[in-house]
């Protein structure tokens, strides 16, 4: 296989200079950061923009007439407009700021569920979901007397679309599915799944946390009813995230939280609510994080994002090839269409031990069930080690990972 750098016109060394943490050492060795599925690193441009807000512009937003408040409001709402353009949302008001994907899915499940889900209704949830796209729907189902139906997957970690189609019926009120599995890397055919659901008049909530960082997403093209993602996985700050929702649903849904900022008129007799997005944004938001998310989008717009996605895919293929060649290593999740994630086990070695020894070599991976215990149960493993890639990772880092995995095997031989 030819070097990745030769296959794609991508200057990875230039990009790496944008991320200060990548130049540091860990345990006396150069950091190899392969935990991007949990949180990506943050470029200097995002750090600078967030620091500038805190140092020079900090004030509470909306309804302030003084200079700092107006300036902060302008920056915060400009970030919302950047989100709209980045995911090609039809209307900026359909982009709701939240603290991350978990809060966003809870918002959709609670608000949609209490309006539209009733006793005997069914919610379809895929077998490969993160707990954040399982547990909120379980709680709604329990409260409303509804039933969870599971969209099954095969041994490669691919959803069985024929089974999905058979599950849809007049009782189905929601489909919850990941764009990309955080534990397997499977890229699900969400556009086709959404089109099928819409034939039954069923909306779809897409967990986009692992999608948006790795390839361009167009919510109009896939026709998503709800698309939820986090800033901290797409080179932005923690505490930032977005719920995109179609106005036709958001206008009908009740607020998720109540308090300041989301009201129109309050009296002791009755309260009326502000229109979207304010209706779903009670209280003082994470202003610095929101502005930082806007800066992260600026950064992604400044690079060739499609070339970055292609480079990442080639790097994943190379890493898969390297690890699959090591005796005793099993790749968990071998779907035909994958992004970023390489989960694996080593015969006779617990994933936590893998992670610990790799850390001694300066290599950061994630070890555990990855908030996807049903996936672990399906593959009959307690946990996996997960290397997850970004466009700043290199072929040489993959080689270091493979060498370190060999070292793990030698230690436990």
Active-site residue identified among 7, 139, 371, 381: 371
Answer yes or no: are the C-beta atoms of 272 and 264 closer than 8 Å.
Answer: yes
Q: Give the chain's length.
A: 413
CA 401 – CA 404 distance, rounded (Å): 5
Angle (CA) 104 107 113, round 5°: 135
- Please name the residues in contact with 343: beta carbons below 8 A apart, sequence gap of 6 or more: 183, 184, 185, 331, 332, 333, 370, 384, 385, 386, 387
Answer yes or no: are the C-beta atoms of 49 and 79 closer than 8 Å.
Answer: no
Answer yes or no: are the C-beta atoms of 338 and 187 closer than 8 Å.
Answer: yes
Is 371 a catalytic site residue? yes
Place of tokens 């209307």: 91
Phi, psi of 249 (to 5 degrees): -90, -50
Residues designated catalytic: 371
């Amino acid at each position: 296989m030819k070097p990745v750098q030769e296959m794609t016109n991508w200057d990875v060394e230039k990009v790496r200079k944008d991320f200060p943490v990548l130049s540091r050492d860990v345990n006396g060795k150069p950091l190899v950061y392969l935990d991007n599925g949990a949180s990506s690193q943050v470029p200097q441009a995002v750090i600078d923009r967030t620091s500038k807000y805190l140092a020079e512009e900090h004030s509470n937003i909306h309804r302030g007439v003084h200079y700092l408040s107006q300036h902060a409001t302008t920056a915060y709402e400009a970030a919302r407009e950047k989100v709209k353009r980045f995911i090609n949302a039809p209307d900026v008001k359909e982009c709701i700021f939240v603290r991350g994907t978990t809060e966003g899915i809870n918002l959709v499940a609670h608000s949609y569920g209490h309006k539209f889900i009733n006793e005997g209704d069914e919610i379809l949830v895929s077998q490969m979901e993160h707990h954040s796209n399982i547990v909120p729907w379980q709680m709604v189902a329990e409260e409303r007397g509804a039933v969870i139906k599971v969209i099954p997957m095969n041994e490669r970690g691919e959803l069985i679309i024929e089974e999905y189609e058979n599950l849809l019926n007049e009782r189905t009120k929601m489909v919850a599915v990941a764009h990309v599995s955080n534990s397997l890397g499977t890229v699900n055919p969400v556009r086709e799944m959404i089109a099928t659901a819409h034939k039954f008049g069923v909306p779809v909530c897409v967990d986009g946390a692992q999608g948006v960082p790795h390839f361009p997403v167009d919510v109009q093209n896939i026709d998503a009813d709800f698309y939820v993602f986090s800033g901290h996985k797409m080179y932005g700050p923690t505490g930032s995230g977005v719920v995109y929702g179609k106005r036709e649903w958001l206008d009908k849904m009740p607020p998720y939280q109540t308090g300041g900022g989301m009201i129109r008129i309050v009296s002791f007799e009755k309260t009326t609510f502000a229109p979207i997005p304010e209706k779903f944004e009670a209280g003082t938001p994470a202003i610095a994080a929101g502005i930082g998310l806007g800066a992260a989008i600026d950064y992604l717009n400044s690079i060739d994002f499609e070339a970055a996605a292609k480079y990442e895919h080639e790097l994943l293929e190379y890493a898969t090839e390297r690890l699959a060649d090591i005796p005793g290593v099993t790749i968990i999740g071998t779907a035909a269409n994958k992004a970023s994630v390489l989960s694996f086990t080593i015969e006779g070695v617990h994933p936590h031990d893998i992670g610990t020894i790799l850390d001694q070599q300066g290599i950061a991976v994630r070890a555990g069930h990855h908030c996807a215990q049903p996936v672990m149960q399906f593959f009959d493993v307690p946990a996996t080690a997960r290397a997850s890639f970004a466009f700043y990772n290199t072929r040489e880092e993959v080689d270091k990972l493979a060498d370190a995995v060999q070292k793990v095997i030698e230690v436990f031989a």
